[in-house]
Amino acid sequence: MILTPDEIAQTLSFGPWPPETRPDISNKASGHEAAIALGAALFTDTILSADGRFTCASCHDPAQGFTVRLSRAAGRKVLDRNSPSLWNLSGLRWFGWGGKSDNLWAASLHPIIAELEMAHTADSWASALSTSRYTPEFETIFGPIAEQPPQTVLVNTAKTLAAYQETLVTNATPFDVFRDALERDDLVAAARYSEGAQRGLQFFLGRGNCNICHSGPRFSNNEFHDAGVPYFLDTTTVDPGRFQGLKLLQSSPYTLAGEWNDDDDNSGAWAVQSVRQTHADFGTFRTPSLRGVAETAPYMHNGSLTDLAAVVRHYNEIDLERMHAEGEAILLPLNMTEIEMSDLVEFIESLSELPK
């Protein structure tokens, strides 16, 4: 065992996996079989796009880790950002690279009405749904379409998509097998985890400081940081990240503080009600989970890094000149050796399932 007792204690904090999940009380469809089945069917149906060109899977392909191999997503035009994977979203506080949603059904609703994505309106969607083969299932769950305002039909649809996505949980990985063996004190089983990955884990916890942001069972604190990725979209425009996300969040009718939260106490609303936009939010993005990440290249909010070796090189050579003045002093150039870099990649790869 090359890990110290302290490193072992830190390693245990990345599990157990999968975490216990509870139904989303803001979504009355959460956990309901019929809603999950309807959401799954709609996810891959072009009916969700006004011109019949896209499905959710066009940008979040189940066969490609619920993303696609493009740097920036292709909608009716090239979008500003990379399609995030949709694994393990249940229970998060913020959604989207800039956190423009505080719940999963709102994050599922935005693409339906976004001009550059599915481009529906509440009216066009309610009318498409009412003449589709999905009418009976939808009405069994939510009641007659004709008796719901179109906006309610839209929100209810998004709630079935969210119910489906809540079921997308990655399987245990070689890392989890190692972690669970450590918890049982089974050093024989733990020794089957490669030494390279163990050294990579030590670097991740130690000199790399990676676990400051990539923490907990999802390997993400789900908060917003500047990881040194340039945020210019072209020579004149930038992606403001969390700065813009907060503005969109606070002007959205679809937050936990709004009328569509199915929980009578509007629990969870405190988060959107207490966040304030500050200049330090500019150019920060949500820390991505590292589970399943081996399958979801290219990386970062703009898909600018092609593989995990490029991500590690990025952290190794981080450009402090480019970082925020008021940014965190966590990231520093790491001066890694080639072996340290390949060990770190090996560790990150062990957070994904072995290919079958």
Q: What does the binding site for ligand HEC look like in residue numbers (CB under 6 A)?
A: 48, 54, 56, 58-60, 73, 75, 79, 81, 83-84, 86, 89, 95-98, 100, 104, 107-108, 111-112, 117-118, 161, 165, 208-210, 212-214, 225, 227, 229, 285, 287-288, 290, 293, 296, 299-301, 308, 311-312, 315, 328, 330-331, 344, 348
- Report how far residue 135's alpha carbon sits from residue 129's, in angstroms, rounded to the nearest whole number: 6
Amino acid at 34: A
Closer CB to ligand HEC, 197 or 308, in the complex: 308
- Report how far residue 311's alpha carbon sits from residue 331's, in angstroms, rounded to the nearest whole number: 13
Tell me the backbone φ, ψ of residue 78, rounded to 5 degrees. -70, 125
Minimum distance from residue 145 beta carbon to ligand HEC (Å): 18
Closer CB to ligand HEC, 146 or 329, in the complex: 329
Closer CB to ligand HEC, 15 or 96, in the complex: 96
H or E element that contains 224? strand 224-225
* Beta carbons of 198 and 3 less than 8 angstroms apart: yes
Q: Helices (H) and strands (E) in the chain — how many of each?
A: 13, 2
Closer CB to ligand HEC, 179 or 225, in the complex: 225
Closer CB to ligand HEC, 96 or 174, in the complex: 96
Q: How many residues does the chain have?
A: 356
H or E element that contains 286? strand 285-286
Minimum distance from residue 208 beta carbon to ligand HEC (Å): 4
Closer CB to ligand HEC, 114 or 189, in the complex: 114
Closer CB to ligand HEC, 15 or 98, in the complex: 98
Minimum distance from residue 83 beta carbon to ligand HEC (Å): 4
Q: How far is residue 184 CA from its own chain's centroid?
A: 31
Minimum distance from residue 316 beta carbon to ligand HEC (Å): 8
Question: What angle in degrees, to the nearest 10, is found between the helix axes of 195-205 and 5-12?
Answer: 90
- Report how far residue 73's alpha carbon sits from residue 5's, in angstroms, rounded to the nearest whole number: 44
Q: How far is residue 97 CA from its own chain's centroid?
A: 8
Minimum distance from residue 193 beta carbon to ligand HEC (Å): 17
Minimum distance from residue 207 beta carbon to ligand HEC (Å): 8
Minimum distance from residue 57 beta carbon to ligand HEC (Å): 8
Give the pair of three-digit tokens for residue 126. 């309610």
Minimum distance from residue 228 beta carbon to ligand HEC (Å): 8
Minimum distance from residue 351 beta carbon to ligand HEC (Å): 9
Give every CB contact of residue 50 below 8 A, 6+ residues apart in sequence: 118, 119, 120, 121, 124, 128
Cα angle: 351, vertex 67, 69; to 5 degrees: 95
Give every CB contact of residue 33 below 8 A, 6+ residues apart in sequence: none
Give the pair of three-digit tokens for residue 348. 């990150």
Closer CB to ligand HEC, 268 or 288, in the complex: 288
Closer CB to ligand HEC, 57 or 269, in the complex: 57
Give Cα separations from 70 to 73, 76, 105, 219 (angstroms).
Answer: 6, 14, 25, 23
Give every CB contact of residue 261 below 8 A, 6+ residues apart in sequence: 26, 103, 255, 268, 269
